[in-house]
Each structure stands twice: as structure tokens, then as C-alpha cells.
């Protein structure tokens, strides 16, 4: 009895190490590739964290360079995305384009049965560099239309900052 118990106690650490090795192998097969590291690099930047490549120290030598490259490129892409979004949100002089012909402001032609005041408000929202815009007789209706257009393109979380202006 003592011998069996002694052997079992001696084998427990080995079983634990085997489990750790299997977990590490599973982690490496999931994370040690260009695509997974690229996505992780983007997430890391979006969370405001520093570029830290130490997390990939356990990757096999054959995939490590591609993994590190993916992480760096994903991180850099997220930085560029933020800079582009910041530039597109600029509200300074020259950031809006208005065309005045003959003293009036002209937009797209009115649809059949639509009155001029049906486009009193012009609202837009931007998600992933794409602008979604719509019109309406009230600010509320125009903003809801623009938000629906954005959400229809699977941008559920990014469609809340609708900007509106009144067309006179």
C-alpha cells in the first residue's frame, strides 16, 4: 500500500508537467501565427497598452519571426487607423464642403413626393472610416436614419456618435 501511494505521489508532478506542456502546445498552435498575432497587436494598441513582444517568447522557433511580424504590423495598423480617424473627425476650417449655386444650397435631387423640408436636417455617423448619412424633417428622425444605416453594416458599437446639421 505504501509503495503504491509513494509511487502515486511521485508521479503527480510528472502528470502536472505533462498537462502544462499540453496547454503550452495548445496556446502555441492558436497564437503563434501571423494572423492571430496581427489581431492581438491591434487589440493591444486599442487597449492603450505598450508594444510588448515578450508574450511570444514561448513560440516555436519556426513560427516566431512571422508571429512577431504580425504583432508589430497589427499594432502599427491600429496606430494608423486612429490617426486617420482623428484626421477625419477634424472640425477645423476646410473640413466641410458646401456648394452654393445661385444663392441656394443644393443637395441630391428630391425623391418623388418628397417636400424640401423633408431634408431639413442632415445627419451622419462614421465607423471604420466609412460615413453613413441620411436626411429627415426633424433632427431625431434624421439621426435615427443615419444610425440605422450604420448599424445595417454590422457596426453595432460604433454608431452612437451621430452629428447633425440643419439645412436652411
pTM: 0.44
pLDDT one-digit tens code per residue, 99-129 = 545 444 444 555 666 555 677 888 998 888 8
Q: What is the pLDDT of residue 126?
A: 86
Give residue 70's pLDDT: 92
Spatial neighbors of 142 by CB under 8 A, at least 6 apart, are 120, 121, 122, 123, 134, 135, 136, 164
CA-wise closest residue to 50 among 41, 59, 58: 41
Strands 163-166 and 104-105: unpaired
Quote the pLDDT of residue 26.
86
| Residues in the chain where the model's pLDDT stays below 50 | 93-95, 100, 102-107
Amino acid at each position: 500500500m505504501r509503495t503504491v501511494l509513494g509511487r502515486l505521489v511521485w508521479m503527480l508532478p510528472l502528470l502536472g508537467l505533462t498537462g502544462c506542456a499540453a496547454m503550452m502546445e495548445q496556446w502555441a498552435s492558436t497564437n503563434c501565427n501571423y494572423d492571430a498575432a496581427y489581431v492581438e497587436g491591434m487589440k493591444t494598441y486599442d487597449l492603450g497598452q505598450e508594444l510588448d513582444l515578450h508574450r511570444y517568447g514561448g513560440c516555436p522557433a519556426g513560427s516566431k519571426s512571422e508571429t512577431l511580424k504580425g504583432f508589430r504590423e497589427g499594432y502599427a495598423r491600429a496606430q494608423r487607423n486612429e490617426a486617420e480617424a482623428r484626421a477625419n473627425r477634424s472640425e477645423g476650417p476646410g473640413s466641410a464642403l458646401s456648394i452654393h449655386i445661385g444663392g441656394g444650397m443644393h443637395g441630391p435631387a428630391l425623391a418623388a413626393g418628397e417636400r424640401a423640408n423633408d431634408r431639413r436636417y442632415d445627419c451622419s455617423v462614421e465607423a471604420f472610416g466609412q460615413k453613413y448619412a441620411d436626411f429627415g424633417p426633424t433632427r431625431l428622425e434624421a439621426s435615427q436614419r443615419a444610425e440605422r444605416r450604420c448599424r445595417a453594416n454590422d457596426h453595432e458599437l460604433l454608431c452612437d456618435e451621430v452629428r447633425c446639421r440643419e439645412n436652411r
